[in-house]
Each structure stands twice: as structure tokens, then as C-alpha cells.
Amino acid sequence: MLETFYDVMRRQGISRRSFLKYCSLTAAALGLGPEFAGKIAHAMETKPRIPILWLHGLECTCCSESFIRSAHPLAKDVILSMVSLDYDDTIMAAAGQQAEAIVEETIKKYDGNFILAVEGNPPLNQDGMSCIIGGKPFLDQLTRVAKHCKAIISWGSCASYGCVQAAAPNPTKATPVHKVIHDKPIIKVPGCPPIAEVMTAVVTYILTFEKFPELDRQGRPKMFYSQRIHDKCYRRPHFDAGQFVEHFDDEGARKGYCLYKVGCKGPTTYNACSTIRWNEGTSFPIQAGHGCIGCSEDGFWDKGSWYARLTDIKPFGIEANADTIGIAAASTVGVAIAAHAAASAVSRAKANQSNQPVTTKGQGE
Amino acid sequence: MSQPNDTPAFQPAVYVYEAPLRIWHWLNALAIVVLAITGYFIGSPLPTMSGEASDHFLMGYIRFAHFAAGYILLIGFLGRIYWAFVGNNHAREIFVPPFHKPEYWSGVLHEIRWYAFLEKEPRKYTGHNPLAILFMHFMFVWGMVFMIVTGFALYGEGAGLDSWQFHLFSSWVIPLFGQSMDVHTWHHMGMWWILLFVMAHIYVAIREDIMSRQSLVSTMISGWRTFKDQRKVDDGH
């Protein structure tokens, strides 16, 4: 008989009172009704614990760093204790051969019944040699573990989209997880890093209900990624009023105007930063006076300036945006039209002169 | 100028553009002007407003005008497609160009030669000339489709996951382009594309009104095509 979540938590020294608090808190964080607190509690008391293997590919560990800073200590304690029990090479106690043995043990013991969480992504060039785990390419470890897992969580923009290591020209051919693993359900939790509460809530939902939360077309949980930062931004009234920061040291910046003109990507970035915020709800980039850089969007490193509204269009060279290209094209066409109009006028004038005596031709005006 | 014609009678005018089509043309032109101006200011907003946010709604009004004009453009375009089915033959010209006919392409070549000053005399058409059909079809019709699809995809982002705009457009357009910012950029490029169309369209309409053998500008106002000489038209070539 496998342990239930509740057993694990009690063993970790969490009181029943704290456990119930955690259940209601999680229900609220997931946007579920009050009655779901009881359902979560019931599920956690009766369901066997699903182990999580947390693998690290090409990454910077910011996802792990974010995860362990979950604002709600209960969520952190509970989920971390559940996760770290198995394999997460950043925070587990074991190292070397012992650590790698855990992977094999989990595969043997929970074949087809564990969750694979991937932070970072596998590089495909040079036979995957740009990322070596325990003497083997990460690609091998990922494909082997993925074959035996139940479902995959793609942590962060690296695993979801590729992020910085997949930025052009991408010499290692870093590739997001869903382009390597095709036969398992994958949930993407993009962000660089994702918000801690989003991560813990996603884990809790999957562990509790044994299914993914509702996903959008790109595989992201709708509850956190269905709206843009801009839609819920506290500076939105300044946007609607037309009050913008023009430069980072101007009066508007001091007054907290909208950062749209200095390149805020809030209007094109799907994430929950403006509602959940960061570091126990303390702040988020826009609140700190810097525009959103759009870290949870596909290919955000290659999408041009973080400090200009109109992003660069790369094939047209550095510093070219939609307007510079448009103005160039319109000017060219404008000059061409003017030249053609002048040529037309000249040719018509000539034709009229030469036509005048020839009255039988039937080319009257 | 004298009338050096063999026969005294004028060639009868032809009713080419029916009233709904003409109304659509000018309404559409107005919508494009509003969309281009407001769209430009959405991409590059006006200088910042001072005072309290509650005193102003400038960006809100600009965006409202953009969205309202966008709806007018969409509904007008749908009406225009409907009219292509029920209207006269000329209402279909720019939607279903006769690309399969060799004589159409020889007509295109002739028009190109005319614009390159290699032909002494233009041909005479009741409807659009072959080059105009080509130009309208690719620059305008597909430009419109592109702008409507990308525009409503962006609108659906604000309208939310449950909106019909999101279901019909955003849900597949945003991932297709990569991400929201890409759709914004392409929509912005589309504005310039339409602007190039408008520049060329107005230029050739005026030029041909003066230099061709039929009326152009007045036809889109009255609907009647009048001709400047009595020889037969070259339709179908």
C-alpha cells in the first residue's frame, strides 16, 4: 500500500489543522469554489501519493529558485516535501550515483504512474553533448524517463518554448520538451521563471485530481495564462487615459504612468504577474517601474527590443521595425508614383501635340 | 477640343457599379482612413497627457474608434462578398479573377506595357482592366482578409477566452504567428500594405480618368461608366 499525501504530510510534521488550511488555500489559489477545499482534503487523505521526478536540462535553475520561494509556506512545505523525496538534483540530498539510482528506482517502482517535471530543455546538436547528466546526454535521460512517466510538466520558458538557450542562432539546437516528446500529455508553465504560486498550484492540482487543469490551445493552464498582464495591470487606467512614461527618468515614470511607450510587453504577454505578483505578493516588474519583458511568451529573446513598443523585424536588419519598413516602402512607392505621373504628363502632352493634325484617327478626347 | 469622330453618336454609358457597391466603397475607404490613423496612434501613442488618469480617456477613445471602424470594415466586407454573389458581373471581378484564361494574361501584359509607356493607346474596359483585377485581388482582397483575421485575433485577446472573436480568430491565429507580439507586428505591416494599395489605387484611378478611354473616378460616384470614344470595348482581353 502506497502512502497517501496526507500520510506524507503528517510524517513531515504538518498538523491536521495546517493541512486543512493548506487545502482551502490551494482551492482558493486554483480559483475553485469553497466546497473544493473538502474535496482536496479528501483526495489527499485517500489517494496514494504520486511521485514526481524533477529533471534539469539546459536551464539556469531560476524555476527551482522561484518554486522554493512560494509565498504560502504551507504550500511550499507540503509540495516540496512531496517532490524532493524523489529526484530533483538541485535540492535533494543525494548526489552522484546515488542520485541517478533514484531515477531508475522510480521508473521501476512507479512505471507509468509518476509525473515528470522538466526544467530546461535538451540540446539536440552534437548528439546532445551540450548538456551531460551523469555522464550521458540529458536527451537520453529525458526520453528514457518520459517513456515511463504518466504526464509531463514543462517548467518555465526553457522547457515550454526554448527561452534564452534557444535564442538565435541557437548553436546547441536547444529544443522545447514538446518537440522531443510526442506521446505524453504535456502541460506548459512558461515564464522565466514561472510564478511560484502558479507552480505549486499546478502541482497540487495534478496531484490532487490526477489530471491536468484546463489547458489552452498552447497547453498552458487557463487559470493562470488566459489573460494578459495588461488586462489586469494596476497601471491600465494610465494607458486608457493616454498617460505614458516617455523616458525612465521623467515625471511620468515618477508618477507611475503606463510603461507602454518604453516597451512594456504586458499587452502581449499571458501570465498572472499583475494579479498574483511575486515574492509573497510584494511586487512585480511593472510595479517596480520597469516594463514587462514578455518572458512567458514564445521566443521572447528574439522578439526585439524590450524598450520599444514596435519590435524589431530581424530579416530587415537591426533597428528596423514595422514603421521604418512601412515608411521606406511608402516613400519608394510615392516617389515612383510621382515619377510615373510626371512621365505620364509628358507623354500625354507629346501625344496631344502629335495628335492634333491627325483628325481622322478617331482618338478624340 | 474638337470631336474628330467618324460617327456622331456617343457610345452609351454602362451602369457598372450598383448603389450598394458604391456605398460600400466609400464607407470602406472611410473605415480604412480611421483604422490607419487610430492604428498608427495605438502603435505609437500621442505625447503623454498630464493630470489625473480619471480626467482623460484618450487612448480609450482611439482604441474605441479603431474597434468600431474595424467592425464597420468587417461587416462591410461581408456585405461586399454577399454582393459579389447577388450583384452584377462587375461585383465579382476582384473576387474571382479569370486567371485560367490566356487572353486575361495577355490583357495584363498589355496593361503593363501601357504603364511602361510602350503602348500608345490603352484598351477600353467596361469593368476593371486586367491589371487592376490582379492588383485588387492580391493587394486589396487578400490584404483585407489578412487585416480582418489578424485584427480580430488581437481584438479577441481583449474580449477574452469565451468570446466569439477569440474562438474564431485568436485561438488559432496567435499560435500560428508564434505569439501575440508577432501578430501585432504583422498587423502593423498590413497597415502599410493597405497604404501602398491606397496610394497606387488613387494614383491610377486619377491617371486613368485622365488618360484612358473611359471614366474612372466619377464611375465610383455615379455608377455609370462613360466612354471617350465610340470604338468597341476590349472586355475579356
B188-236: pLDDT as tens digits: 999 999 999 999 999 999 999 998 888 889 999 999 998 888 888 877 6
Contact assignment for B207 to A344 by CB distance below 8 Å = yes
Please tell me the predicted confidence (pLDDT) of residue A74: 59
CA distance A86 to A145: 13
Please tell me the predicted confidence (pLDDT) of residue A364: 41
Please tell me the predicted confidence (pLDDT) of residue B137: 94
Please tell me the predicted confidence (pLDDT) of residue A138: 93
Q: From A237, which residue of chain B is nearest by alpha-carbon distance?
A: B53
Which runs of E-coded beta strand occur in chain A?
A: 52-56, 87-88, 115-119, 132-133, 136-137, 151-155, 186-189
Could you report the per-residue pLDDT of B5-58, keeping only the tens digit for each? 555 456 788 999 999 999 999 999 999 999 999 999 999 999 998 888 899 999
Q: At A87, list the grid cell.
A: 529526484
Taking the domains of chain A in order of start, what are their residue ranges? 5-224, 229-311
Interface of B with A in 17-56 (CB under 8 A): 43-50, 53-56
Contact assignment for A364 to B161 by CB distance below 8 Å = no
**Which of B6, B179, B182 is closest, CB to CB, to A362?**
B6
Q: From A346, which residue of chain B is nearest by alpha-carbon distance?
A: B117
**Which of B43, B55, B210 is closest, CB to CB, to A309?**
B43
Q: How far is the alpha carbon of B163 from chain A, nearest alpha carbon, in Å?
A: 12
Task: Considering only the C-alpha atoms of chain A, give the largest distance between any 2 of them, rounded to a whole number of Å.
Answer: 111
Are B38 and A237 in contact, with CB atoms under 8 Å apart?
no
Q: At B33, list the grid cell.
A: 482612413
Are A148 and A164 in contact, with CB atoms under 8 Å apart?
no
Please tell me the predicted confidence (pLDDT) of residue A360: 46
- Class of residue A55 by CB neighbours under 10 A (exposed 0-12, middle 13-18, buried 19+): buried
| Residues in chain B closer than 8 A to A257 (CB atoms) | 48
Please tell me the predicted confidence (pLDDT) of residue A363: 43
Instruction: Using a CB–CB cutoff of 8 Å, tell me whether A322 touches chain B.
Output: yes
CA distance B128 to A351: 24
CA distance B73 to B60: 20
Q: How far is the alpha carbon of B34 from chain A, nearest alpha carbon, in Å?
A: 18
Quote the mean pLDDT of chain B.
90
Please tell me the predicted confidence (pLDDT) of residue A36: 85
B70 contacts: CB under 8 Å, gap ≥ 6: B31, B35, B148, B151, B152, B155
CA distance A101 to A123: 23
Q: From A313, which residue of chain B is nearest by alpha-carbon distance?
A: B185
CA angle at residue B175 from B174 to B178, to 5 degrees? Answer: 90
Q: At A71, list the grid cell.
A: 509565498
CA distance B28 to B80: 10
CA angle at residue A253 from A249 to A257, to 5 degrees? Answer: 160
Residue type at B1? M
Contact assignment for A243 to B211 by CB distance below 8 Å = no
Are A323 and A310 in contact, with CB atoms under 8 Å apart?
yes
Local structure of A78: helix, strand or coil: helix
Q: How far is the alpha carbon of B87 from chain A, nearest alpha carbon, in Å?
A: 32
Are A202 and A189 in contact, with CB atoms under 8 Å apart?
yes
Which residue from A192, A161, A166 is spatially nearest to A178, judged by alpha carbons? A161
Are A303 and B181 in contact, with CB atoms under 8 Å apart?
yes
Confidence bin at B64 (pLDDT 50/70/90): very high
**Which of B46, B181, B185 is closest, CB to CB, to A297?**
B181
pLDDT at B1 over 50: no
Contact assignment for A310 to B161 by CB distance below 8 Å = no
Rounded to an integer, the average pLDDT of B92-103 is 91
| Residues in chain B closer than 8 A to A244 (CB atoms) | 45, 48
CA distance B79 to B75: 6
What CATH homologous superfamily does A229-311 map to? Cytochrome-c3 hydrogenase, C-terminal domain (4.10.480.10)
Q: From B209, which residue of chain A is nearest by alpha-carbon distance?
A: A365
Instruction: Using a CB–CB cutoff of 8 Å, tell me whether A265 touches chain B.
Output: yes
* Residue B9: alpha-carbon gap to chain centroid: 35
Q: From B50, which residue of chain A is nearest by alpha-carbon distance?
A: A243
- Class of residue B131 by CB neighbours under 10 A (exposed 0-12, middle 13-18, buried 19+): middle
Q: At A163, list the grid cell.
A: 527561452
CA distance A152 to A315: 35
Local structure of A87: helix, strand or coil: strand
Please tell me the predicted confidence (pLDDT) of residue A317: 61
**Which of A222, A337, A364 is closest, CB to CB, to B200?**
A337
Q: Class assignment of domain A5-224?
A: alpha beta
Contact assignment for B57 to A241 by CB distance below 8 Å = yes
What is the 3-class SS of chain B, one letter each residue?
CCCCCCCCCCCCCEECCCHHHHHHHHHHHHHHHHHHHHHHHHHCCCCCCCCCHHHCCHHHHHHHHHHHHHHHHHHHHHHHHHHHHHCCHHHCCCCCCCCCCHHHHHHHHHHHHHHCCCCCCCCCCCCCCHHHHHHHHHHHHHHHHHHHHHHHHHHHHHHCCCCHHHHHHHHHHHHHHCCHHHHHHHHHHHHHHHHHHHHHHHHHHHHHHHHCCECCCCHHHHCEECECCCCCCCCCC
Please tell me the predicted confidence (pLDDT) of residue A357: 53
Instruction: Using a CB–CB cutoff of 8 Å, tell me whether A317 touches chain B.
Output: no
Tens-binned pLDDT, residue by residue, of chain A (365 aa): 467 778 877 877 778 888 888 788 778 877 778 888 888 888 888 877 778 888 999 999 898 888 877 766 555 665 666 654 567 777 777 778 888 888 888 889 888 888 899 999 999 999 889 999 888 999 999 999 999 999 999 999 999 999 999 998 899 999 999 999 999 999 999 999 999 888 888 887 887 778 889 998 889 999 899 899 999 999 999 999 999 999 999 999 999 999 999 999 999 999 999 988 888 788 999 999 999 999 999 988 888 788 888 887 766 666 678 888 888 889 989 999 988 988 888 888 887 787 665 444 444 43
Are A255 and A261 in contact, with CB atoms under 8 Å apart?
no
Crossing angle of helices A16-29 and A73-84, rounded to 10° = 100
Contact assignment for A270 to B184 by CB distance below 8 Å = no
Integer angstrom CA distances of residue A93 from A18, A89, A96, A120: 26, 8, 10, 21
Instruction: Using a CB–CB cutoff of 8 Å, tell me whether A249 touches chain B.
Output: no
Q: From A269, which residue of chain B is nearest by alpha-carbon distance?
A: B180
| Residues in chain A closer than 8 A to B203 (CB atoms) | 337, 340-341
Please tell me the predicted confidence (pLDDT) of residue A160: 94
